[in-house]
Chains A and B, each alone.
Chain A
């Protein structure tokens, strides 16, 4: 409209109407996520009953289990898209960005899983940490993916980054079962040192299961939302990187001539 009234002032950069990484679809998804998160809080803290053994500590599980689910989902997606990149004919960088975005999300939520798990453990077991297979594997997995992200930050071209990180992403598939199995074998020797009086698995009734289900749905929606946005942002970062390189080359060439 302004262009019609004042035709002389043309926009400097005409193709700049999209000012975020969002679309109609992600906005809808975001609203759905917020709504289900609200439900999760209502069910987790309000409607669902306290457990017979764990009492109110069970409410932490409505945060802990969905974050753990999200983190593991994210790492599976990282492994799968690493494989798609490495074995795909085109070596599409799109898969690499999805892998990287997913790993970032996974690391954030794995940290949350560990912290909420510790809070729950303190209430249920009396200690923050148990050297059992699930916890120890999760902790090592967390460190491994921090390493994965560090490898992504090593520099080099985007293809180098993609190849290196895809290899690491796939090696995790060998690593995780071995770590889990070895820790399980190790802990089976030391049962007497264990301080837990219940193994932490809860017999969940209908409403508790439903709350957990709401949590898993909410966090899955959140994951999809985050993944879409984060991989778009990484794509833009890569593009700017390339443009910056081109500009630097042009400058150098101009100086040289």
Chain B
């Protein structure tokens, strides 16, 4: 089987588990939603909320991503599924790609919901001209986040204390995504009168991030899960 086919199978498996268990829809999305409401409580004035809406979308995404990553590897390590895959000689790079794709799909769904929440709750507006930039930002940022999340999720999988360690490891690494994606969405939504053209350089940053960590993760994932217990 080719690497790509295995990756698709792994991704399909993860998404199927997700569809049946409904953790994303029943737990993670409500969590993200309540985070958005909490932001509103903390930042009170509605004109402030509209200005900081792009940043809040990505902050809520990052926090929810930590939950998703935990979940993504809990289903593997709980019944030794990762060990079984490894013993069966499944290409680790394919596992990495597969799990990244599954995570990316879930993150994308999450981001769209959060964006809608921002429009409804914070009064953010999506101008027609910004839709291409917005979609590109979502795709590139999601790829980067999924690559990093899967990599560090695999690193901490199967160890006690991973729940507390994962945020400490992941958040500093994804800081560029938070900065880049927030600025790009700001210019896509025209927040504070930021011009549309100012958003595109940030796409470059997000793309470089996704490629760098995608490549690094694919190289590192094999040695990492070989060691996982």
Contact = CB atoms under 8 A, between A and B. Distances in A.
Mostly, the B contact residues are: helix
Interface stretch (B81-89, B94-102, B120-128, B171-179): B171-179
A159 interface: yes
Contacts of A168: 155, 169
Mostly, the A contact residues are: helix
B165 interface: yes
Interface residues of A, number: 30
A193 interface: no
Contact of B175 (A146, A154, A174, A182): A182
A154 B213 contact: no
Interface residues of B, number: 30
Contacts, number: 82
B44 interface: no
B220 A143 contact: no
A178 B212 contact: yes
A150 B213 CA distance: 21
Given A171-B216, A175-B173, A147 B205 contact: no
Contact of A179 (B159, B176, B223, B227): B176
Interface string A138-168: 0011011011001100111001100110011
Across chains A and B, which 7 residue pairs bring their CB atoms closest together, nearest first? Answer: A182-B176, A147-B169, A140-B172, A160-B227, A147-B168, A144-B172, A167-B220
A232 to B, nearest CB: 26
A185 B180 CA distance: 9
Interface string A89-125: 0000000000000000000000000000000000000
Nearest to A161: B227
